[in-house]
Structure 1
Amino acid sequence: MVTIDATGLVLGRMSTYIAKRLLSGEQVNVINCEKAVVSGSKSKVERLKKLRDMGGPFHGPFYPKRADRVVKRTIRGMLPYKQARGRDAFSRVRCYLGQPDGIDMKNFISIPEASGDKIAAIKTITIKQLVEHI
């Protein structure tokens, strides 16, 4: 079992790394999902809101409204979830808001290639801000 702290990590890069680990058969816990970043401006949020509002309430498209669900949906998009292999891999991921008590930090890893430090702060938005706006 591997625990990943999503604080300051770019969502897409982090998700591809997690998807590969899941397909190899590992259990992955993602903590602090609300602190992950999406590269792009706030106009990207406006486009997502417009997409969400286009669908009817009963016919979709259905977009998640919680930060942990946004991260989990992004990871699902990087897996072949319509096949048995992808469904099994997707069942091995757990996403959490904050840091829960039951998670041990012994197998804690960081993903340096997914770090959002090199991106200007103006061009990023956290998942928490994205969810509040949607």
Structure 2
Amino acid sequence: MFVINGNNHILGRLGSQIAKNLLNGEEVHIINAEGIVLTGSPETVIEKYKQRRRIKHKGRPEKSPSWPKVPQLLVRRIIRGMLPWKTLRGRESFKRLKVYMGNPKNLESQKPLENAQFKGNSRFITIGELCRNLGAKN
């Protein structure tokens, strides 16, 4: 079992390493999902995810892709995009991913992933702030 503390990790770099571990058969738990960082202008990032949530199929809106507002589900959805979701291998590996807000099970995280650490030298927004702007209640 691989436990990662999401605070101050860049989402894309963290997600690609997690996807690789999942495909290798490991179980991955992410704690503190609301502290994961998205780099870029906050206004642009918020508008991008608002637009993704607005996309609906005209004839059958219930068949449209769904993008969640809650931090742990949004992180799961983004990592799902990094897996081969339409294959059995991808779906089985996605089941081994657990994402939590905070640390509900008092899991101890291993040392942070070096190349996914956020250095703080660019504009950014956290997943928690993004979800509050999308309409999440937390």
Same fold (TM over 0.5): yes
Cα 1:49/1:113, change in 2 over 3 Å: same
For residue 53 of structure 2, what is the aligned residue in structure 1? 52
Distance 1:87 1:95 in 2: 16
Distance 1:82 1:58 in 2: 19
Compute the displacement of 1:18 (Å): 0.3
Distance 2:41 2:28 in 1: 29
On the 8 A contact 1:2/1:109 being kept in 2, the answer is no
On the 8 A contact 1:39/1:119 being kept in 2, the answer is no
The question of 1:91 aligning with 2:87 is answered no
3-state SS, counterpart of residue 97 of structure 1 = coil
For residue 15 of structure 2, what is the aligned residue in structure 1? 15
**Deviation beyond 4 Å, 4+ runs, structure 1:** none
Aligned length: 130
The question of 1:66 aligning with 2:70 is answered yes
The question of 1:115 aligning with 2:117 is answered yes
Give me the identity figure in percent.
Answer: 37
5+ long unaligned stretches in structure 2 = none
On the 8 A contact 1:68/1:97 being kept in 2, the answer is yes
Distance 2:92 2:55 in 1: 32
Question: What TM-score, normalized by structure 2, do the two folds share?
Answer: 0.86
For residue 5 of structure 2, what is the aligned residue in structure 1? 5
